Structure formats: structure tokens, C-alpha cells
Amino acid sequence: MILSDADILAALEQGTIKIEPFRSEALGSNSYDVHLGPYLRVYATATLDARRPTSSTLLEIPEKGLFLVPGILYLGVTEEYTESHAYVPFLEGKSSIGRLGIQIHATASKGDIGFCNHWTLEITVVQPVRVYPGMPIGQLIFFTLQGPAQIPYRQRHSAKYTSRDTLPVPSLYWKNFHSI
């Protein structure tokens, strides 16, 4: 079951969902719009190694906007910090963003119960497009779970993205390997 606007508001009141900052105008019938934060991260090299950390460059999106170009993976971040303690959050792109050729995630649309952070976005574009800090970029949809989770995300030994961060977080996949 997907939560409605009334369900999302009730979950916020109960503390089973947290959205900071919360903007009432961002609440849809069954979703909540999230906004692009002021920073993007790009990898410093075109060749990445899944077993090794890769250096990256942090870019600040000026108020006048920044052109994104095809062929580059931009890691963005949501302005909103979210917590979900009883629902499975999914982050999807807004249709208006998709119609501009902007994709906001490569594979990671599903969050886990217990995810508490800003969302890192895996942004690619099909043609050059200017983006702006604070623009609505995606929407969170919350699903109910059939039963309680035994181990929420933040309590998992393997959880790598638990430090609250307002900057885009590069891949920490290399931590899955004991030696690098």
C-alpha cells in the first residue's frame, strides 16, 4: 500500500517519517517532492574501480544554474533530510524532470526502513540542461511493509551510508572488500 497525503501527514505527526525541512506545498496526493541541494560531485577520473575509493570534485550550483552535459555522472543531494522508521521510501524522478532528459538515479530508487539521511542522487542527462539549486527534482513515495523489519538499515553491520551528510556521497562500495 502507498501512503496518501493524509497518511504521510499522520506519519510525520507520529514520528515514523521525518522530513526536514518540511514544505506543505511539496506534499502531493501520494508523494512528497524533494529538492536539489546546492552541491554536485563528479568523479575526477573517467575510469572507476569498484574495489578502490575514487577521488572526486565538489561543485556548487550557482543561483543562475549550472549546465549538466551527457556522459558525466553527477552525484547530487536532496535538500531534505528524511527518516523512515515504519515505511519503505522510494525516490522517483518527477515526470517534468524526466521530460527534460534528466534521470535522478541509476539503480538506487528504494530506501530501507531505518534510512535516515539526505538522498544522494545519481544524475545523468540525455542532452545539455541547466539545473538550479532548490528545484524540485524527485518525489518520495512511502510503502507499508507486510511485517516489521528485523534489522533496520542504520543497525545493519553492512550499512555504509549512515553518517548524516548534506553533501553528495560518492560510492562506498569498496568497503565491501576486506583489502584494497
Catalytic pick from 13, 80, 92, 122? 122
CA dist 130 and 58 (Å) reads 17
25 catalytic? Reply is no
Which residues have a catalytic role annotated?
Answer: 122
